[in-house]
A = this chain, B = another copy of it.
Amino acid sequence: MENYARIADTGKPRVVVVGGGFGGLELVKALRNEEVQVVLIDKNNYHTFQPLLYQVATAGVEAVSIIHPFRKIFEEQENFYFRMAEVENVDCERQLVETSIGLIRYDYLVIATGATSNFFGNTLMEQKAITMKSVTDAMELRNTILDNFEKALQLDDEVQVNSLMDYVIVGGGPTGVELAGALSELRRHVFPKDYRELDFREMDIYLIQSGGQLLKGMSEEASKKSQEYLERFGVKVWLNRRVQSYDGFTVTLDTGETLFTRTLVWAAGVTGDPIKGLKKESLLRDNRYQVDVFNRVAGYANIFAIGDIAAMVTEENPQGYPMLAQPAMQQGQQLGKNLGKLIAGQPLAPFEYTDRGTMATVGRNHAVADLKLLHKEYKTQGFRAWLIWMFIHLISIVGFRNRLMVLLNWMWSYFTYDTGNRLILGKKRENIPVEETMDHKAVE
């Protein structure tokens, strides 16, 4: 006997959306007035505002302020159904999603599962590194940082103490840059007060980037300024280097250089997070589904993909759109309209991307922004970019209450030079025992 998940049949075409990230959320919203039943499946009961994960990791804002329960977001949307479940497989022939709570039938399936960290097959590094893809990751990093200092108090071997106080961040994209900047602020204003017994001149923050510049994809001005700011804040920006291995203690670079750290943050490559059951030919080399200009997955009539997991390969865009919030949201909105048209038997409208620009913040009063307004480019760095960054992020957070909490947190931090509560609450990364790393001198 097959086990079906219990979801009422409303008699309307059922759109099953897998994943409630930026794309999935916009899609569900866009379907609110359509004659469909929307079933959102996500493994969490909340949406995560990923751009602020680095602030959760650095105690800048509370985890709860950047996540919002789906049931609350769509409280007023009558055609919305939510199921907290893991997707295991798709039976495309029978139009069934196989999940941890049973089978879910679909008329239209939208895959919005996003991306996951890419360790390029290095499983030891995958085990030992901390990623920044979920609020659980970010809280783990916060707990680990604070716990490291508590442990550093108990050691006298200089290399051991430094391995606990030093941080290596891999990847010079926005996450890496923002995290490095935030850590440098904590080092200056907060940690020395909390841990008076430690010498924070010993705390080093490395930002390792494989290419020759930070914030690849942004303007040269943005790349240069962000590096200048970070270096002014005492971050060691190491360009043109790749991390080859990390065992939880020793970082080895392709230049032969080694670093000792118990905390390596992996903010480098990402790859699509596909689901099982679709034809292999639909998937491109970077694990993204090949979709047409209507976000339809290659080879399927009623399966769609949006956001990071979708590669809309066109002549102008041989790589698909960048894996960012903006394309995901716009695709979600567009697909919502198109599904309505599809059901009504009307012709679909092709997706057109409106690039509004990108930005990254480095720290107090310092950010870089490449904006596009009415097809004109505005590049700005420093205080003005920082204000724009804050404004844009604040209005993008889901929920008035969360917005208010984040604003209050930011104002508090700005005027007091203090951050949120430095709490070790929940999971933290367990270090390799000191004894197992005492042969470190041989490596040096």
List chain A positions with a Cβ less than 8 A from chain B. 5-6, 8, 44-46, 62-64, 67-69, 71-72, 75, 81, 83-84, 101-102, 135-136, 146-147, 150, 153-156, 193-195, 197, 399, 401-402, 404-405, 408, 412, 420-426
Contacts and interface: CB of A to CB of B under 8 A. Distances in A.
Contacts of A153: 6, 83
A412 B421 contact: no
A158 to B, nearest CB: 14
A136 B423 CA distance: 12
Nearest to A427: B426
A192 to B, nearest CB: 10
A406 B235 CA distance: 36
Contacts of A84: 147, 150, 424
B425 A154 contact: no
A44 B423 CA distance: 9
8 smallest A-B Cβ distances: which pairs? Answer: A71-B194, A45-B424, A84-B150, A62-B64, A69-B422, A75-B193, A46-B423, A101-B154
A155 B425 CA distance: 33
A221 B93 CA distance: 68
A412 B422 contact: no
Given A6-B154, A62-B64, A153-B6, A44 B424 contact: yes
Contact of A45 (B69, B102, B154, B422): B422
20 contacts: A45-B424, A46-B424, A62-B64, A64-B420, A64-B423, A67-B423, A69-B421, A69-B422, A71-B195, A71-B422, A81-B197, A83-B150, A83-B153, A84-B147, A84-B150, A101-B154, A102-B154, A135-B425, A401-B412, A401-B420
B64 A425 contact: yes
Contacts of A156: 6
Given A6-B153, A408-B404, A67 B426 contact: no
Nearest to A8: B197
Contacts of A154: 5-6, 101-102
Nearest to A146: B45
B421 A72 contact: yes
Contacts of A72: 194, 421-422
**Best-buried of A44, A72, A75, A136 by chain B (most CB within 10 Å):** A72
A6 B153 CA distance: 7
A326 B239 CA distance: 58
A266 to B, nearest CB: 22
A194 B69 contact: yes
Contacts of A423: 45-46, 64, 67, 69
A401 B136 CA distance: 24
A112 B193 CA distance: 26
A421 B197 contact: no
